């Protein structure tokens, strides 16, 4: 029996409608600043998509494009300026950055209150303890998909393939906070198949087309494919061999149309929350 398709595109549309409704009621129009350095084609596609999303949800988008040779000092100066702007509630620096830039230094320069990607050390620490406002967009999108389809991680064995700071590690933490037993696999895992076949919920986040095949999946497992790759034919695909795994799994996300749309929807919601918190903090200041 073929797996149930977890439709992230439809769910993202619902999230964006709710964001648009709340943004319209917000006392201060939410503003997202997107900074792009250099002329990476993939980054440009992502930035344009985010601008379109913002426009659809009543969020003001500000684009700042720097030449690849502008230098890290110029980028840090721009971030400091954006940190101080009251009309900017979220700051997103499109990664990867060109050679010669320290991604860590750039991320840490963003105010934690405007770090809608949730990459700043302060926000990472809050995610670790479970007391957070912003969760990284992709892992949070995965959790929302699970919730929407009534897939409860509690008591289940969740295997996350990939240990990046952007997806793998925070994904494991969010699942752990929901009472799952979590295993993280990576390039040094001796027998990947032996581990993935234990998973009730399997999350693939490596960036290697066709890595997860049907023989690596426990019958009836939920399979979440986070990756966005291009195969030898130039077609967009994930880490999961979709056609074969869909015959084994109970639920599966497609690529495209699965986690990707939810990543962008959560970014919009994080920006909205940042704007709402800005208004709340202004109110507290008035009281004091």
| 38-90 pLDDT per residue, tens | 988 878 888 888 999 999 999 999 999 999 999 999 999 999 999 999 999 99
First to last CA, the chain: 62
Pick the closest to residue 217 from 239, 241, 199 (CA basis). 199
Where along the chain do the CATH 3.40.50.10860 domains lie? Answer: 27-111
Catalytic residue (one of 50, 114, 156, 218): 50
Q: Is beta strand 229-230 parallel, antiparallel or unpaired with respect to 251-252?
A: unpaired
pLDDT over 70 at 271, yes or no: yes
Of 53, 114, 115, 117, the active-site residue reads 117
Please report, for residues 9, 78, 112, 255, the alpha-carbon distance to residue 272 in angstroms, rounded to integers and kept in the order given.
Answer: 20, 22, 15, 27
Confirm whether 94 is a catalytic residue. Answer: yes
pLDDT at 162: 98
Classify domain 137-260 at the CATH topology level.
Answer: Rossmann fold (3.40.50)
Q: Which residue has the higher pLDDT, 248 or 42?
A: 248
pLDDT at 287 over 60: no
Q: Which of 158, 152, 204 is nearest to 181 (CA)?
A: 158
User: Residue 286 pLDDT more than 50?
Assistant: no
Closest CA to 136 of 121, 153, 116: 116
* Per-residue model confidence (pLDDT) at position 283: 57
Q: What are phi and psi of 122, to 5 degrees?
A: -60, -45
Please report the pLDDT score of residue 280 as a whole number. Answer: 84
Q: Pairing between strand 60-66 and 31-37?
A: parallel
- Mean pLDDT, rounded, of the chain: 94
CATH code for the part of the protein at 27-111: 3.40.50.10860
Residue ranges, CATH 3.40.50.720, the chain: 137-260
For a pLDDT cut of 70, what percent of the chain falls above it?
98
In 3D space, the residue among 227, 244, 224 whose CA is nearest the CA of residue 236 turns out to be 227
Query: Residues 250-278: what's their mean pLDDT?
Result: 96
């Amino acid at each position: 029996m073929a797996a149930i398709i977890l439709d992230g595109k439809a769910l993202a549309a619902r999230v964006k409608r709710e964001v648009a409704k709340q943004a319209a009621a917000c006392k201060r129009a939410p503003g997202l600043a997107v900074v792009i350095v250099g002329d990476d084609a993939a980054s440009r596609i992502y930035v344009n998509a985010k601008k379109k999303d913002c426009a659809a949800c009543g969020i003001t988008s500000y684009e700042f494009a720097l030449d690849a040779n502008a230098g890290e000092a110029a980028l840090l100066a721009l971030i400091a300026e954006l940190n101080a702007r009251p009309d900017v509630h979220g700051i997103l620096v499109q990664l990867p950055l060109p050679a010669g830039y320290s991604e860590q230094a750039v991320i840490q320069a963003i105010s934690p209150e405007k770090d809608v990607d949730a990459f700043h050390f302060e926000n990472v620490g809050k995610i670790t303890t479970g007391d957070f406002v912003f969760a990284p967009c992709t892992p949070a999108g995965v959790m929302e998909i699970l919730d929407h389809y009534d897939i409860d991680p509690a008591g289940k064995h969740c295997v996350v393939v990939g240990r990046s700071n952007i997806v793998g590690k925070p994904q494991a933490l969010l699942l752990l906070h929901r009472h799952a037993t979590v295993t993280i696999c990576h390039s040094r895992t001796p027998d990947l198949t032996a581990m993935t076949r234990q998973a009730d919920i399997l999350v693939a986040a490596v960036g290697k087309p066709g890595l997860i095949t049907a023989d690596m999946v426990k019958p009836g497992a939920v399979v979440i494919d986070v990756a966005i790759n291009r195969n030898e034919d130039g077609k967009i695909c994930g880490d999961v061999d979709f056609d074969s795994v869909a015959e084994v799994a109970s639920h599966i996300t497609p690529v495209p149309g699965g986690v990707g749309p939810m990543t962008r929807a959560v970014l919009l919601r994080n920006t909205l929350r940042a704007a709402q918190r800005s208004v709340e903090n202004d109110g507290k200041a008035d009281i004091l």
